[in-house]
């Protein structure tokens, strides 16, 4: 099988899963957007994805993302940055990303805005909410109780456009339970920010549960592209 055929098969399977999840949740077909996570995979795979109709791609490490985006800059793609953001890299990420999904603290806001203004754009951002139990080490995302404050700061930062929320289901809990909590957090958030309707949730292993809980975007890597080398 060629790489093109392999990716086409993975993509067809994931699109069918998304369609089935939309039906099961009573949601209109085509409502959920697929973001293919291309981390660890070469720019040639991104080219194949674009050829197969993918428009949104996700990356989680700045250097890799920047290099890959530059290699396929001739393609009409929307780049989502989905990884942990170092403050000193934030302005650089804003120079190529179309949507930064992983904003988890206020210090990032002026830096992202600076990068956006230098590029002459308004940068779309999502706030990453932690679904981890309190007290766990290395929680990614803003704790839910601090979300309102971060959202107010993001909404009032010139150069940024607050589009919604992102989350990753933690290990050690049924994804459905985590995503149900996320749906509640989002409902409260939408009262303050009614137009920030994006909800990025769901990966290869839990996209069905995320779609059931209202995800508008799913971020899928391995189910489309195959398994990655383990992260060290």
Ligand X SMILES: *Cc1c(COP(=O)(O)O)cnc(C)c1O
The contact set with ligand X (CB under 6 A) reads 37, 39, 60, 82, 168, 203-205, 219-223
Q: Shortest Cβ distance from residue 120 to ligand X (Å)?
A: 28
Tell me which residue of 182, 67, 48, 170 sits closest to 127, measured CA to CA.
182
Task: Pick between residue 48 and residue 82 the one whose CB is nearest to ligand X.
Answer: 82
Nearest-CB residue for ligand X: 221
Task: Pick between residue 36 and residue 159 the one whose CB is nearest to ligand X.
Answer: 36
Q: Shortest Cβ distance from residue 227 to ligand X (Å)?
A: 8
From the centroid of its chain, how far is CA 41? Answer: 17
Task: Pick between residue 186 and residue 219 the one whose CB is nearest to ligand X.
Answer: 219
Task: Pick between residue 22 and residue 206 the one whose CB is nearest to ligand X.
Answer: 206
Cα separations (Å) of 192 from 147, 149, 183, 196?
A: 11, 11, 15, 9
Q: Are 85 and 109 in contact (CB under 8 A)?
A: no
Q: Shortest Cβ distance from residue 15 to ligand X (Å)?
A: 14
Task: Pick between residue 133 and residue 205 the one whose CB is nearest to ligand X.
Answer: 205
Helix (H) or strand (E) holding 36: strand 33-37
Q: Which two tokens stand for residue 142?
A: 């803003």
Tell me which residue of 231, 216, 226 sits closest to 182, measured CA to CA.
216
Q: Return d(Cα 125, Cα 209) in angstroms, integer.
A: 23
From the centroid of its chain, how far is CA 24? Answer: 23
Q: Shortest Cβ distance from residue 221 to ligand X (Å)?
A: 3
Q: Are 56 and 85 in contact (CB under 8 A)?
A: no
Q: Shortest Cβ distance from residue 108 to ligand X (Å)?
A: 16
């Amino acid at each position: 099988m060629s790489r093109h055929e392999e990716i086409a098969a993975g993509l067809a399977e994931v699109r069918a899963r998304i369609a089935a999840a939309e039906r099961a949740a009573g949601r209109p077909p085509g409502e959920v957007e697929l973001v293919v996570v291309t981390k660890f995979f070469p720019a040639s795979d991104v080219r194949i994805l674009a050829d197969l109709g993918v428009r949104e791609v996700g990356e989680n490490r700045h250097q890799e993302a920047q290099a890959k985006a530059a290699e396929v800059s001739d393609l009409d793609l929307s780049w989502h940055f989905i990884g942990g953001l170092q403050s000193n890299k934030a302005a650089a990420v804003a120079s190529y990303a179309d949507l930064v999904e992983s904003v988890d603290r206020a210090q990032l806001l002026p830096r992202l805005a600076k990068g956006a203004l230098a590029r002459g754009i308004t940068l779309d951002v999502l706030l990453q909410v932690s679904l981890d139990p309190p007290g766990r080490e290395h929680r990614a995302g803003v704790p839910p109780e601090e979300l309102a404050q971060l959202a107010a700061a993001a909404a009032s930062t010139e150069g940024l456009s607050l589009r919604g929320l992102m989350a990753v289901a933690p290990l050690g809990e049924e994804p459905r339970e985590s995503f149900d909590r996320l749906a509640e957090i989002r409902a409260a958030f939408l009262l303050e920010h009614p137009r920030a309707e994006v909800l990025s949730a769901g990966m290869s292993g839990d996209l069905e549960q995320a779609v059931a809980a209202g995800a508008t975007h799913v971020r899928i890597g391995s189910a489309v592209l195959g398994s990655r080398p383990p992260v060290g």
